[in-house]
């Protein structure tokens, strides 16, 4: 299959079953929206405007990633802004960490939102190279390696995941994060988009669920800051968006 190119519904159905066919149907609808609507055309021009390359679908196999990894597909800019804006924090005091950063689109979006430091973690050598090129103008730190073994900085952070992998990696990652918080207690948020493995975070005693839209995203907060109270989880329905 051509890297970054579209694949057929029959190919997805054969390889991934109904789940894969549903994902591609939504992806094709998104492509039509990009081409046929003014807002879609603005989003389609995101790469051109920023002189980067973050679009495209690349399968896990073409990226030579482990079996519990997910294919590459970028988050929509307006989707990212809408979700991250739920955090009522001073972003100038926080590090943004994108786990499974792919080509680096969320890093660019986070930089535009004013985060103090930008870090991406990516296992694929091909995607790591592209992410470094895309973010070199503002000096994002791109770390090549297994996210489950990532050494978290002992500073206030927002940890972002766009459904980069399944179990067992997600379990190991959540355990590693929890251990980091136990050693260095600090204000930290986990923003998990398409949270198919939420249980990995729900079982961590030092993370609290503060916001959830079922099958869309969940936000967790580390042990509550002194004098503050976490918000009650939001359980509104939302159409699933598969990454």
The pLDDT value recorded for residue 243 is: 38
The pLDDT value recorded for residue 228 is: 43
The CA-based dihedral angle spanning residues 3, 33, 43, 160, taken in that order and rounded to the nearest 10 degrees? -70
The pLDDT value recorded for residue 24 is: 55
Q: How far apart are CA 80 and CA 78, in angstroms?
A: 5
User: Domain 77-222: what homologous superfamily?
Assistant: Vaccinia Virus protein VP39 (3.40.50.150)
Tell whether pTM > 0.85: no
The per-residue pLDDT for range 91-150, each reduced to its tens digit, is 999 999 999 999 999 999 999 999 999 999 999 999 999 999 999 999 999 999 999 999
- Other residues' Cβ atoms within 10 Å of the Cβ of residue 133: 14
Which regions in the chain score pLDDT beneath 70?
A: 1-28, 30, 33, 224-243
Q: What is the 3-state secondary structure (H, E, C) of 40-60?
A: HHHHHCHHHHHCCCCCCEECC
Q: Judge whether 201 and 218 are in contact, CB under 8 Å.
A: yes
Query: Which sequence spans correspond to the domains of the chain?
Result: 9-44, 77-222
The pLDDT value recorded for residue 223 is: 79
The per-residue pLDDT for range 157-167, each reduced to its tens digit, is 999 999 999 99
| Six token digits for residue 213 | 């839209």
């Amino acid at each position: 299959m051509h890297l970054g190119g579209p694949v057929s519904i029959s190919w997805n159905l054969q390889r991934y079953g109904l789940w894969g066919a549903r994902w591609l149907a939504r992806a094709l609808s998104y492509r039509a929206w990009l081409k046929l609507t003014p807002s879609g055309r603005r989003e389609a021009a995101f790469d051109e405007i920023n002189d980067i390359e973050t679009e495209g679908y690349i399968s896990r196999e073409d990226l030579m990633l482990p079996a519990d990894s997910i294919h590459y597909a970028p988050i929509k800019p307006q989707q990212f802004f809408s979700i991250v804006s739920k955090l009522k924090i001073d972003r100038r005091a926080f590090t943004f960490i994108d786990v499974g950063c792919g080509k680096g689109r969320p890093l660019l979006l986070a930089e535009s939102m004013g985060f103090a430091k930008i870090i991406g973690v990516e296992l694929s050598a091909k995607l790591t190279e592209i992410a470094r090129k895309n973010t070199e103008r503002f000096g994002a730190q791109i770390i090549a390696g297994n996210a489950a073994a990532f050494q978290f900085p002992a500073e206030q952070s927002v940890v972002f995941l766009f459904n980069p992998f399944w179990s067992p990696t997600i379990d190991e990652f959540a355990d590693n994060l929890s251990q980091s918080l136990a050693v260095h207690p600090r204000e930290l948020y986990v923003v998990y988009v398409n949270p198919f493995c939420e249980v990995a975070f729900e079982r961590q005693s030092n993370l609290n669920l503060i916001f959830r839209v079922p099958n869309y995203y969940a936000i967790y907060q580390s042990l509550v800051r002194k004098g503050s109270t976490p918000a009650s989880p939001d359980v509104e329905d939302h159409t699933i968006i598969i990454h």
